[in-house]
């Protein structure tokens, strides 16, 4: 469909322009922003729940959560007491920078230092849309199979971090952690990889540490 | 992005035109065609493996399998001795009717009576693209969660059948089968639902029976 290319390029370059504006604002206000991407049901919302419950009330954290239809995720996440806003895309398969810009229109960035964006569940399309984030994080459940980095390489190439989730299911599925790491690094040699279970809590300390280190580094970079 | 609507409509109506041509050809040659759609790793390829191994050598079955980057699935499926062709989309998040038309260009349809199309792993975008199939089938793994029909309603509304896969993982995940059925039927009241495990084989006889019944009904309809 060659007719799609020029418009797709135009849409993406318009998106890049808005994303660059968001990135400049995040930098100005020292907000470290992450864009979480995964298949449906890989555990993005669970990872955010386990993350928010580890944060104290003094943390300056907010969450934007994208979904096609429901606001279930926002309701799940709001009970931790941090600001949470749902972006319902109404059919669109990814978040784009304009949706984020709109969602932030009435949110002052000054009080924040961490903004977590949960994208729509989709391992393909969200990887093309810059949201102004400091880094993309891809979440892969062991139930999905260790071949996924090779089959969906774009997001594994673009994400700074791979979080392998549902470690507790390893005994019951044919997922080889070493092979998954090898596949991820074949697509993206420098990729950081963490392995967690949001059910048992295994590995979550390392994830929160990664988050804190990046947040501190971002602050130092802004100063 | 209002500028996207007209072109999206044009692309979709062009797709519908090609799909209608494919559907006419399938009808003419009495080929029953299914379009399998799911998230990455829900088990489409495994379901096809378990299906093909149940078919005798006299079956007139062929498979088209879509993937963004690799031909892993075609290699997995080719060992059962039926014709299999990989459609590598090179980044595109769904199959479209033209890709199917091209893949079938050098395949005579006369000897076939069942064509199984495995779409790209994506619960969102493939639901918009008619491939000329007789029916869409959505596969949902219990590891993904019983809320998915509400969160990704388009495909659950459009699919004639929901196959809930990975029943063997039920003891280890918080997935309520009754709730999943209720969610699916809230979106699509008339939906057929089957529950299987491609690992243990549970429920696969009912799936093959569903397939055979529909294939026979399609033949009777063509006669």
pLDDT, tens digit (0-9, with 9 covering 90-100), for B108-163 = 999 999 999 999 999 999 999 999 999 999 999 999 999 999 999 999 999 999 99
The CA radius of gyration of chain A, in Å to the nearest whole number, is: 17
Is the residue at B54 inside a domain?
yes
How far from B72 is each of A150, A186, B45, B68, CA to CA, in Å?
Answer: 9, 16, 10, 11
Of B42, B124, B166, nearest to A68 by CB-CB distance is B124
CA distance A223 to chain B (A): 36
| Cβ proximity of B134 and B33 under 8 Å | yes
Distance in angstroms (rounded) separating the CA atoms of residues B136 and A72 = 26
Sheet holding B161-165, edge to edge: B84-88, B61-67, B114-118, B32-38, B135-141, B161-165, B192-195
Per residue in B8-18, pLDDT tens? Answer: 778 889 999 99
| Residue B167 pLDDT greater than 50, yes or no | yes
Q: Is residue A5 part of a domain?
A: no
Smallest Cα distance from B111 to chain A, Å = 30
Q: Is there a contact between A124 and B122 if contact means CB atoms under 8 Å apart?
A: yes
Q: Is B2 exposed, middle or buried (0-12, 13-18, 19+ CB in 10 A)?
A: exposed
Measured between CA atoms, the residue of chain A closest to residue B38 is A40
- The two structure tokens encoding residue A58: 């003094």
Q: What span, in angstroms and rounded, lies between the C-alpha atoms of A163 and A202?
A: 12
pLDDT, mean over chain A: 93
* CA B128 – CA B117 distance, rounded (Å): 15
| pLDDT computed for residue A222 by the predictor | 57
Q: Which of B124, B164, B173 to mutate to test the interface with A (most CBs of A within 10 A)?
A: B124
A123 to chain B: which residues are within 8 Å by CB? 39-40, 121-122
Q: What is the mean pLDDT of residues B168-176?
A: 97
- Please name which of A133, A200, A120 lies closest in space to residue A161, comparing C-alpha atoms: A133
pLDDT confidence bin for A146, thresholds 50/70/90: very high
Q: With a cut of 60, say whether residue A53 has pLDDT above it.
A: yes
* Phi, psi of B77, deg, nearest 5: -85, -20
Which residues does residue A163 pair with via DSSP β-bridges, in sequence order?
A139, A194
More confident site: A196 or A216: A196
Report helix, strand or coil for B52.
Answer: helix
Q: Which residues of A touch B96 (CB under 8 A)?
A: 1
Domain residues for B75?
13-222
Given an 8 Å threshold on Cβ–Cβ distance, is B121 in contact with A152?
yes
Number of domains composing chain B: 1
Cβ-Cβ pairs closer than 8 A, A with B, add up to: 131
- Say if A6 falls within a structural domain: no
The answer to whether residues B131 and B96 touch, using CB atoms and an 8 Å cutoff, is yes
The conformational region for residue B159 under phi > 0 = left, psi -120 to 50 = alpha, else beta, is: beta
Question: Are A160 and A127 contacting, i.e. CB atoms less than 8 angstroms apart?
Answer: no
Set of chain B residues whose Cβ sits within 8 Å of the Cβ of A75:
none
Q: SS3 of A149, please?
A: helix
Section B8-33 average pLDDT: 92
- Euclidean distance between CA atoms A203 and A195, whole angstroms: 6
| Residue A166 backbone phi and psi in degrees, to 5 | 65, 40
- DSSP letter (8 states) at residue A83: -
Of B163, B36, B33, B59, nearest in space to B111 by CA: B59
B3 part of a folded domain: no
Tell me the CA distances in angstroms from B77 to A75, B47, B69, one per residue in order: 42, 10, 16
What is the CB neighbour count within 10 angstroms for residue A45? 25
Q: What is the pTM of this model?
A: 0.90
Flag whether A3 is in a domain. Answer: no
Residue B3 has pLDDT above 60, yes or no: no
- Asked if the structure places residue A217 within a domain, the reply is yes
Local confidence band at A54 (pLDDT 50, 70, 90 cut-offs)? very high
| Domain CATH code at residue A218 | 3.40.50.300
Which residues in A lie closer than 8 A to residue B125 (C-beta atoms)? 93, 122, 124-125
User: Can you read off the two tokens belonging to residue B190?
Assistant: 């008339």
- Of A147, A151, A172, which has the smallest distance from its Cβ to B169's Cβ? A172
What is the mean predicted confidence (pLDDT) over B166-192? 97
Rounded-to-integer distance, Cα A104 and Cα A79, Å: 20
Taking the CA of residue A92 and the nearest CA in chain B, the distance in Å comes to: 8
pLDDT at B223 over 90: no
Q: Average pLDDT in the A202-209 region?
A: 97
Region A140-147 average pLDDT: 98
Q: Which H or E element spans position B70? A: none
Q: Which residues contact B113 (CB under 8 A, 6 or more apart)?
A: B30, B31, B32, B60, B61, B215, B219
A6-20, A83-97, A190-204: the lowest-pLDDT one: A6-20
Counting Cα atoms < 13 Å in the Cβ hemisphere of B37 gives 31
Residues of B in contact with A37 (CB under 8 A): none
Burial degree of A146 (CB within 10 A; 0-12, 13-18, 19+): buried
With cut-offs at 50, 70 and 90, classify the pLDDT of residue A223. very low
Q: What are phi and psi of B162, to 5 degrees?
A: -105, 125
Of the residues B10, B16, B40, B167, the best mutation for testing chain A's interface (the one with the most A CB atoms within 10 Å of its CB) is B40
Asked whether the predicted pLDDT for residue A1 surpasses 90, the reply is no
Average pLDDT over residues B26-37: 96
CA-nearest residue to A122 within chain B is B122
pLDDT (mean) for A75-79: 95
pLDDT of the residue at A221: 67
Which residue does chain A place closest to B126, by CA atoms?
A: A93
Chain B partners within 8 Å of A7 (Cβ):
3-4, 7
| B41/A69 Cβ within 8 A | no
Provide mean pLDDT across the span A78-101. Answer: 95
State the first-to-last Cα distance of chain B, in angstroms, to the nearest integer: 47
pLDDT in tens, A155-181: 999 999 999 999 999 999 999 999 999
Q: What is the pLDDT of residues B52-101, one digit of tens each?
A: 999 988 789 999 999 999 999 999 999 999 999 999 999 899 999 999 99
A1 belongs to a structural domain: no
- The per-residue pLDDT for A117 is 98
Which chain A residues touch B if contact means CB-CB below 8 Å?
1, 3-4, 7, 10-11, 14, 39-42, 67-70, 72, 91, 93, 96, 98, 120-125, 141, 143-145, 147-148, 150-154, 166, 168-169, 172-173
Separation of alpha carbons A205 and A215, rounded Å:
15
Contact criterion met (CB below 8 Å) for B105 and B129: no
As a whole-number percent, the residues of chain A with pLDDT over 90 amount to 87
pLDDT bucket at A219, cuts 50 / 70 / 90? confident
φ, ψ of residue B42 in degrees (nearest 5): -80, -20
Domain assignment present for A2: no
Q: Which residues of A touch B148 (CB under 8 A)?
A: 40-41
Q: What is the DSSP letter of A176?
A: -
DSSP E strands: which ranges in A1-60?
32-38
Percent of chain A at pLDDT exceeding 70: 96
Beta strands A61-67 and A114-118 are: parallel
Give the integer Cα–Cα distance in Å for A88 and A119.
10
């Amino acid at each position: 469909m060659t007719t799609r290319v020029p418009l797709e390029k135009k849409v993406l370059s318009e998106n890049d322009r808005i994303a660059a504006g968001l990135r400049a604002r995040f930098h100005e206000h020292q907000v470290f922003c992450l864009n979480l991407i995964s298949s449906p049901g890989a555990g993005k919302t669970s990872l955010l729940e386990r993350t928010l419950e580890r944060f104290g009330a003094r943390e300056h954290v907010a969450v934007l959560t994208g979904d096609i239809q429901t606001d279930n995720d926002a309701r799940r996440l709001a009970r931790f007491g941090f600001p949470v806003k749902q972006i319902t895309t109404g059919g669109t398969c990814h978040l784009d920078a304009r949706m984020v810009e709109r969602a932030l229109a009435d949110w002052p960035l000054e009080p924040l230092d961490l903004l977590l964006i949960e994208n729509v569940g989709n391992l393909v399309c969200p990887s093309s849309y810059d949201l102004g984030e400091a880094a993309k994080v891809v979440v892969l459940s062991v139930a999905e199979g260790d071949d996924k980095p090779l089959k969906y390489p774009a997001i594994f190439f673009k994400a700074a971090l791979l979080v392998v989730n549902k470690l507790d299911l390893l005994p019951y599925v044919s997922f080889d952690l070493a092979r998954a790491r090898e596949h991820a690094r074949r697509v993206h040699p420098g990729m950081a990889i963490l392995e967690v279970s949001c059910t048992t809590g295994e590995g979550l300390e390392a994830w929160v540490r990664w988050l804190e280190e990046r947040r501190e580094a971002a602050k130092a970079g802004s100063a």
